[in-house]
């Protein structure tokens, strides 16, 4: 058979034609299936993109740049970042036309359609350094948009009831106040006029408002790694406020109610506190020399502490100081529980309570006027003259002349006539049985021993005027 005839018979063979048709169909189906992950034998630009959250991005998702399809996601797998936190890694197969990408390029997971499909948006950068084939994009260069379902998920039943209550509250607040709203809108006109220069300043390049928002974006990016910590902070705050809510009424309410009177008391008592702070400053000033000696006394104190640490263990031995102190404490406890002792303590407490007013009255006689010390010093000096057989009592006889009307002769009235004699033993009566001693309720003066003497008139009782608080000082030597 001629060769041409054999070729024609092969091309017209139905079996061969059917086999070729089936083979072409199989290749077409295989190519259509592989098209989702890239056509075979086509060179690709591979990158590994780290994502903090894949956000439902799956294998076969598209990669877009400027609205054009530039690649596919071949694989999404779990991994860990350098800090050990779980992340997702998306393997990309990009067209060679986008190679190489700058290292400041960003990848954003976005919603493709209403049914929840996602795609990866590529925003090329401008840096000179680029990613090589097979490089890894760090997680800091990736982000994800907030889906609409995530936005709606925050409106849970409790939030919806709150929004409803707020809307009703605003409607009630605005009901019947149309005139007031119109007046408020009219009052906003000057504000809008003043906002013009403000808007121009914000729009100026020198203001760099865009830089401000970029800074806010950087701040938000810096806060992203600690988002879980911040969330736990708010959770703990909720626990704290729940605990406070249980004692809000009446404890916190009473505390807040008492705060203004407390501040008023502090303000009123501040002048009195000034003396305390002054005394405290003086105390620290007096302590300063002692503190200055600590560098030299510290070794001695250290030696004392060392000796104490060495000797104190022996006090815990049987029959030592510890057991003696314990026995003493037990005896004191039994003694204190005796009914007779308690009755005696009650009597002592009552006695001290009754003694408090007179002691408060008598205390200034010594603390302010030094009268008790002066009395004891003078009593001690009465036996200061020594003789061969001991000491003698020193005293002075005050002699009063017998003159008509004088104190040395019988009289129904005290001698109050002014003195006409130049001698000191003649003069009107001066007597003060109850001198002021700076006690509570009295004039603040040390009157005893300080009364002025006048030979022109008698003075019976407290002398006129204030004699001051100065009295004779005493020392340890008794002089």
- Mean pLDDT value of segment 24-41: 58
Residue listed under structure tokens 């906002």: 195
Q: What is the pLDDT of residue 52?
A: 85
Residue 400 pLDDT class (50, 70, 90 cuts):
low
CA distances from 185 to 174, 178, 181, 188 (A): 14, 11, 6, 5
CA 183 from chain centre, in angstroms, equals: 45
Q: Which of 64-78, 79-93, 132-146, 419-433 has the lowest mean pLDDT?
A: 419-433
Sign of CA dihedral 239, 241, 245, 251: positive
pLDDT bracket for residue 95 (50, 70, 90): confident
The residue with tokens 């630009």 is 45
456 pLDDT exceeds 60? yes
* Pair 155, 98: CB distance under 8 Å: no
d(CA 471, CA 446): 7
Per-residue pLDDT reduced to its tens digit, 402-420: 565 555 666 666 666 665 5
Residues 99, 122: Cα–Cα separation, whole Å: 12
Confidence of residue 150 (pLDDT cuts 50, 70, 90): confident
DSSP helix/strand/coil, 198? helix
Tokens of 391: 């000491």
Q: Does pLDDT of 478 surpass 50?
A: no
- Write down the pTM of the prediction: 0.33
Q: CA separation (Å) from 302 to 191, 307, 319?
A: 74, 9, 28
Helices (H), 317-416: 321-336, 339-367, 371-381
Q: What is the pLDDT of residues 183-229, one digit of tens each?
A: 888 888 888 888 888 888 888 888 888 888 888 888 888 887 888 88
218 — phi, psi (to 5°)?
A: -65, -40
> Is-contact 405 415, C-beta < 8 A?
yes
pLDDT at site 384:
65
H/E run at residue 194:
helix 178-203
pLDDT at position 418? 62
Share of the chain above pLDDT 90, in %: 0
Domain boundaries, the chain: 43-147, 193-246, 248-292, 303-357
Q: How many residues does the chain have?
A: 479
Q: For residues 407, 411, 412 and 418, what is the CA-based torsion angle, rounded to 10 degrees? A: -50
Terminal CA-to-CA distance of the chain, rounded, Å? 163
State the Cα–Cα distance between residues 96 and 71, nearest whole angstrom: 9
Residue in the structure block whose two tokens are 């640490």: 309
For residue 440, report the phi and psi dihedrals to the nearest 5 degrees.
Answer: -55, 135
pLDDT exceeds cutoff 60 at 3 = no
> Is the torsion defined by CA of 62, 65, 69, 72 positive or negative?
negative
């Amino acid at each position: 058979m001629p060769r041409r005839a054999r070729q024609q018979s092969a091309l017209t063979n139905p079996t061969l034609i059917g086999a070729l048709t089936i083979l072409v169909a199989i290749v077409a189906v295989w190519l259509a299936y592989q098209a989702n992950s890239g056509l075979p034998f086509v060179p690709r630009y591979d990158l590994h993109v780290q994502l903090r959250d894949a956000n439902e991005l799956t294998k076969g998702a598209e990669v877009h740049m400027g609205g054009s399809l530039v690649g596919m996601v071949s694989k999404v797998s779990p991994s860990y970042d350098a800090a050990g936190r779980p992340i997702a890694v998306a393997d990309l197969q990009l067209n060679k036309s986008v190679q190489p990408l700058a290292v400041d390029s960003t990848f954003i997971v976005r919603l493709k359609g209403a049914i929840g499909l996602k795609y990866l948006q590529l925003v090329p950068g401008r840096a000179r350094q680029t990613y090589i084939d097979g490089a890894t994009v760090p997680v800091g260069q990736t982000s994800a948009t907030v889906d609409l379902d995530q936005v709606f998920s925050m409106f849970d039943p409790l939030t919806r009831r709150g929004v409803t209550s707020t809307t009703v509250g605003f409607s009630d607040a605005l009901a019947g106040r149309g005139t007031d709203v119109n007046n408020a809108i009219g009052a906003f006109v000057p504000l809008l006029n003043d906002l013009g220069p403000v808007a121009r300043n914000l729009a100026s390049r020198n203001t760099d408002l865009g830089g401000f928002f970029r800074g806010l974006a950087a701040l938000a990016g810096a806060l992203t790694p600690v988002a879980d910590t911040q969330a736990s902070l708010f959770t703990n705050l909720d626990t704290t406020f729940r605990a406070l809510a249980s004692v809000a009424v009446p404890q916190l309410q009473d505390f807040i109610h008492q705060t203004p009177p407390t501040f008023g008391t502090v303000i009123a008592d501040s002048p009195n506190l000034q003396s305390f702070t002054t005394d405290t400053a003086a105390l620290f000033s007096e302590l300063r020399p002692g503190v200055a000696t600590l560098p030299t006394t510290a070794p001695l104190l250290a030696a004392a502490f060392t000796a104490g640490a060495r000797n104190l263990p022996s006090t815990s031995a049987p029959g030592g100081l510890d057991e003696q102190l314990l026995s003493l404490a037990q005896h004191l406890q039994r003694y204190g529980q005796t009914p007779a002792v308690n009755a005696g303590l009650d009597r002592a407490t009552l006695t001290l309570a009754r003694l408090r007013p007179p002691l408060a009255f008598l205390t200034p006689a010594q603390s302010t006027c030094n009268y008790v010390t002066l009395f004891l010093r003078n009593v001690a000096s009465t036996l200061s003259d020594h003789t061969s057989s001991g000491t003698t009592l020193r005293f002075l006889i005050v002699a009063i002349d017998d003159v008509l009307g004088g104190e040395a002769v019988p009289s129904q009235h005290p001698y109050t006539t002014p003195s006409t004699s130049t001698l000191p033993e003649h003069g009107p009566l001066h007597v003060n049985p109850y001198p002021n001693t700076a006690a509570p309720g009295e004039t603040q003066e040390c009157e005893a021993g300080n009364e002025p003497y006048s030979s022109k008139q008698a003075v019976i009782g407290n002398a006129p005027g204030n004699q001051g608080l100065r009295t004779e000082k005493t020392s340890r030597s008794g002089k």
